[in-house]
Amino acid sequence: MFRDQYVESMSILLPRSNKTNSPFRYPGGKFYARHIILRYIPEHTRYCEPFAGGASIFFAKKYQSYSILNDLDGELMNCYVQIRDNVEELIGLLEGIPAQKELHHHYKNNFNPGNDLERAFRWYYLNRTSYSGIMKDENCYWGYGSKYSMRPENWPPHLRTVSDRLQGVELLQVDFENLIDELSDGFFLFIDPPYFGADQKKFYKCNFDYEDHVRLSNCLRRNSDRLKFLITYDNHPDIRNLYDWACSIDGQEWNYTINRTDDQRNGLKLEDGYRNKRYKGREIFIRNYQDYTGMPHIPLQPPHQLAAL
């Protein structure tokens, strides 16, 4: 018992980044929109993200005593669990391993994890060194740049900060409908589903079909009297029709974190070194409440530092 207490006390003294950012690069993530989204979040004591992904809003918002992060991607959720429960062991596996294209190829194609910790190590390394954090095998290409990407020596202190934030958080891998129906009254949900018009099969391992969009709308409607929710969606007329019962649908704009993974006009792909420009997307925020605090946005870092996150 005394040894465990000593190890825990020493761990507290280890360096941390103290940056409340997601540990991952995530395609379609809300890092660039978090200062807008936080203004719409009402006061709450219980918080849930049914489609966690990179969970940029969870890490940006103020701490709540009870939070749930859920995603169907088992590799993603295993990585969250290992960061929460075994962060120093994960850091030990990452220690001394540089960001190199050859290693990216090795861990993607040749490395066979022997346990959950090694699975998390592989997933994290590939995520931090792949273009826009895309983890779909056929589009998971080398995309690390030393000038803009988080450097490997900075991974451990940030992982410790993330681990601290994840303590006490419930991490799940279940269908969104089952999760939402079983939540107790009073939860606030931030919902960031795969977008209706997105070419999601290029970016994500779990597909989300039209029937799933309908299921989500129906699920939220029947729970709307006991849960508050904010949804971010692409501005599509079918989505507006699905949520014509909601309290408010607001238009918003911000820069996407990814665009396409290829240049169809010129026949270029990521493996050829193609990099597309960011572009401004038109999104909608859907909510079932009027009362929100108009929370001031959190300070943003200078634009030249954003890509490193």
> Which of 62-76, 151-165, 282-296 has the least mean pLDDT?
282-296
Write out the two tokens for 203: 């970016």
When pLDDT is cut at 50, 70 and 90, the band that residue 127 belongs to is very high
Q: Give the Cα-Cα-Cα angle 172, 173, 174 (nearest 5 degrees).
A: 105
Of 301 and 25, the one with more pLDDT? 25
Nearest to 28 by CA among 267, 308, 259, 219: 259
CB-count burial class (<10 Å; 0-12, 13-18, 19+) for 154 = middle
CA distances from 140 to 69, 79, 206 (A): 24, 17, 15
Write out the two tokens for 186: 């009073």
Nearest to 189 by CA among 83, 14, 24, 40: 40
Percent of the chain exceeding pLDDT 90 equals 62
Cα 258 from Cα 261, distance rounded (Å):
8
Nearest to 242 by CA among 171, 234, 161: 234
Using DSSP bridges, classify how beta strands 268-269 and 262-263 pair: parallel, antiparallel or unpaired.
Answer: antiparallel
pLDDT in tens, 235-285: 999 999 999 999 999 887 655 544 444 443 444 454 454 445 555 557 899
Nearest to 188 by CA among 156, 229, 155, 222: 229
Q: What is the pLDDT of residue 269?
A: 52
Contact 198/236 with Cβ under 8 angstroms?
A: no
Contact 70/174 with Cβ under 8 angstroms?
A: yes
Cα dihedral 118, 119, 120, 123, rounded to 10, equals 120
Q: What is the pLDDT of residue 199?
A: 60
Cα dihedral 132, 133, 138, 144, rounded to 10, equals 70
When pLDDT is cut at 50, 70 and 90, the band that residue 204 belongs to is low
Fold of the domain built from segment(s) 14-306: Rossmann fold (3.40.50)
Write out the two tokens for 27: 């395609």
Mean pLDDT value across the chain: 84
- Helix H or strand E encompassing 135: none
Q: Is the pLDDT of residue 214 over 70?
A: yes
